[in-house]
Structure 1
């Protein structure tokens, strides 16, 4: 009986140490920490797993400009505020892992569809009246986007993605591929892609 108790105790201790750190953090736990950091828009915590600028698609020019960087961070915080996730499955194979996760966030396709219509209308009206200078126009457009995100925050989209991870120097790193970025940003990557395709089609039609 004592031998069985000792074996059970040893098993519990090993299981606990495996999950807590002696054999390294599990990919699933690292994925949770990463996604919690994303929800909080915690730049420092996110950067433990992936380049913050790469994940949020912030260009070098935006990062270098203090005003642009501040606006980008405020917009990102607003966009990620309502993000939720559920980890469905986790598979580890040595230094590599795949964590299947379901991510729900504000539907940016819906937001941007409304925003583009109103933004074009405002720009068209101002082209004739010139009541606003460039700075005032930029502020109006920013306020408009924020308002539309607030109005549409309950309209969400859900994506299921395979988040790829790799262990580097005993630390799990996240592959910020387009699929993961798109899920985190509420289909915003698809909006940008669709808009770029539309622009190419329009340009081709004029040739």
Structure 2
């Protein structure tokens, strides 16, 4: 009877050990191969934390991170004023939110669509520029100190605007392309992807800057500046995309 009981007990132990081994192996297998949406989520979390050193590990090639860095124009690592940089980063992190909308996998490639909510920089820029331009035009005819003071005031206005708890936000979508490298999912976006990501992270700032960099608008600004018109920038209300500066 004791022998039979011992055999049953040993059988239970063996079964439990096999079950435990299976669970351990399964768990390790899952942890070693994050899904495409998990990779994107982890990447955005690192970006939100400004953990720049960790970002290259999420890309398929070194060129991919260089393309992203080019899109950010070094903003992740270079800032003259450390205090201002930290304030910008804090505001960015507090406002940044994201949600995976869809994930599609085909063989060794995948696409993950994400909705990114961030500070609405076009609105912030429009508001600050609208307030700062009259001062800038007035300072243009002043001395170097006056121009420097206006520049500092404008920077402070930007800082106040983005750190405002009620700063406007915008939601923009971005599509992350991924591919498998040595069995691991990696982001494989090019410079175009980098630009779309930066655009989403800044609430479509890129599109706003396209408007401000319109050659006709630049020409109007120069004309107004040359004429000494303090409100010359208001002429832009009648500006057409294909407008002429004459």
Specify whether residues 146 and 71 from structure 1 end up closer, same or farther in structure 2 by C-alpha distance, changes over 3 A only.
Answer: closer
Selected match of 2:200 from 162, 166, 183? 183
Residue correspondence of structure 1 range 1-207 to structure 2 within 5 A? 16-21=27-32, 24-49=33-58, 50-51=65-66, 53-58=69-74, 67=80, 75-130=88-143, 132-133=145-146, 135-151=148-164, 153-169=166-182, 170=184, 172-175=186-189, 176-197=193-214, 199-200=215-216, 203=219, 205-206=244-245
Specify whether residues 138 and 202 from structure 1 end up closer, same or farther in structure 2 by C-alpha distance, changes over 3 A only.
Answer: closer
Tell me whether 48-57 or 65-74 shows the greater mean CA deviation.
65-74
- Return the alpha-carbon distance in structure 2 between the equivalents of residues 15 and 200 of structure 1: 62
Please, what is the CA RMSD of the aligned residues? 3.6
Scaled by the length of structure 1, what TM-score is found? Answer: 0.75
Aligned 8 A contact 2:79 2:85 in 1: no
Equivalent pairs, count: 199
Q: SS of the counterpart of 1:47?
A: helix
- Return the alpha-carbon distance in structure 2 between the equivalents of residues 151 and 117 of structure 1: 18
Aligned 8 A contact 1:40 1:77 in 2: no
Specify whether residues 153 and 98 from structure 1 end up closer, same or farther in structure 2 by C-alpha distance, changes over 3 A only.
Answer: farther
CA deviation after TM superposition for structure 1 residue 92, in Å: 2.4
Unaligned 5+ segments in structure 2 are: 1-11, 59-64, 220-242
Aligned 8 A contact 2:169 2:203 in 1: yes
- Return the alpha-carbon distance in structure 1 between the equivalents of residues 26 and 71 of structure 2: 33
Specify whether residues 158 and 66 from structure 1 end up closer, same or farther in structure 2 by C-alpha distance, changes over 3 A only.
Answer: closer
Q: SS of the counterpart of 1:186?
A: coil
Q: SS of the counterpart of 2:118?
A: strand
